[in-house]
Amino acid sequence: MPSARVLTVLLLAATGAASLSAHAENSPKQIQMLTQSGAKVLKTFKAASNLKGWVISQDGHYSLLFTTPDNKTLLAGELIDESGNNLSARYAKEYFPQPDLTALFSEFEHSAYVAEGAQKSPKSVVYAIFDPNCPFCHLAWKALQPYEKAGLQVRWIPVAYLTESSAGKAAAILEAKDRVAAFRENEQKYNPQNHEGGVQALAKPGASTLQQLQANAELMQKIGASGTPALVWKDSQGKVHVNAGMPRLSALPAITGLPEQIETDASLARFR
């Protein structure tokens, strides 16, 4: 199992749950309790379904929390609307301080990843942060398969936060003799009904592997992504972009730099 420090970093990536500094005397009690540990509330905003959003910062990490109108309930995690859009990703893009993506790009190039798709002289490269148990990561994998056949290389960067088995599965992929085969096994055996299945989780990941997962989680935080998948790429002009959450299929040509590919998988219909 990951160390306490690793679990802390991965939990922050998963839930957006962090401590806050006092923002106002009328803050909900949960917020007031959290503020006492010294982090800061950077901004509040009106969120969907009459929720109140809180942008918080601690130790250089940014995350989101939401409170109900009666101030009695605090929510941490992804907000998904009825069309499948990741509202948390949209709020993060709108309200988080924006990182210097150009300076961070080299960290992606040197991260622990699985290079799937075109291996020799790929036409384009996209980095994708994923959790082995993430349903939207699985859908992103499906959506990108036709583009891989067209010359795309996707460098899948594992993190582990969604379920208890996430770290063991991510470790199994990174420690496999054939990372691509292990990654594909995870996706091909993924069970969308319970968001489990996939590759067999390692009971005792190696220390170096846990360090790689921690570094990947910290990289995820640096780009302001509150969940997975998170896609990172350079356009033809060399500008670095981030798409947090499952992208619309219509956005994939711009993300991949390749012509639109035909996709008939019924599970992707809501993203057309």
pLDDT of residue 97: 80
Residue 36 has pLDDT above 80, yes or no: no
Whether the pTM exceeds 0.85: the reply is no
Lowest mean pLDDT among 29-38, 46-55, 236-245: 29-38
Please provide the average confidence, as pLDDT, over all residues in the chain: 87
Lowest mean pLDDT among 22-36, 81-95, 147-161, 202-216: 22-36
Query: Residue-wise over 122-158: b if at least 16 C-beta within 10 A, else e?
Result: bebbbbbbbbbbbbbbbbbbbbbbbbbebebbbbbbb
In angstroms, rounded to a whole number, what is the distance separating the alpha carbons of residues 219 and 249?
25
pLDDT band at residue 14 using 50, 70 and 90 as cut-offs: very low
Please state the domain extents for the chain: 12-95, 101-271
> What average pLDDT does the segment 198-218 reach?
96
Residue 23 has pLDDT above 60, yes or no: no
pLDDT of residue 5: 37
> What average pLDDT does the segment 32-36 reach?
74
Most confident of 93-107, 154-168, 216-230: 154-168
**Encoded amino acid at 98, one letter:** Q
> What average pLDDT does the segment 74-79 reach?
90
pLDDT of residue 58: 75
CATH superfamily of 101-271: Glutaredoxin (3.40.30.10)
In angstroms, rounded to a whole number, what is the distance separating the alpha carbons of residues 34 and 18?
8
Contacts 24+ apart (CB under 8 A), 59-63: 60/221, 61/12, 61/18, 61/221, 62/92, 62/96, 62/97, 62/221, 62/224, 63/12, 63/15, 63/16, 63/17, 63/18, 63/226
% of the chain residues with pLDDT over 90: 67
pLDDT of residue 131: 96
Going 263 to 266 to 267 to 268, the CA torsion angle's sign is: positive
User: 10 or 38, which is more confident?
Assistant: 38
Residue 22 has pLDDT above 60, yes or no: no
> What is the CATH code of the structural domain delimited by 12-95?
3.10.450.70
Lowest mean pLDDT among 24-28, 76-80, 183-187, 199-203: 24-28
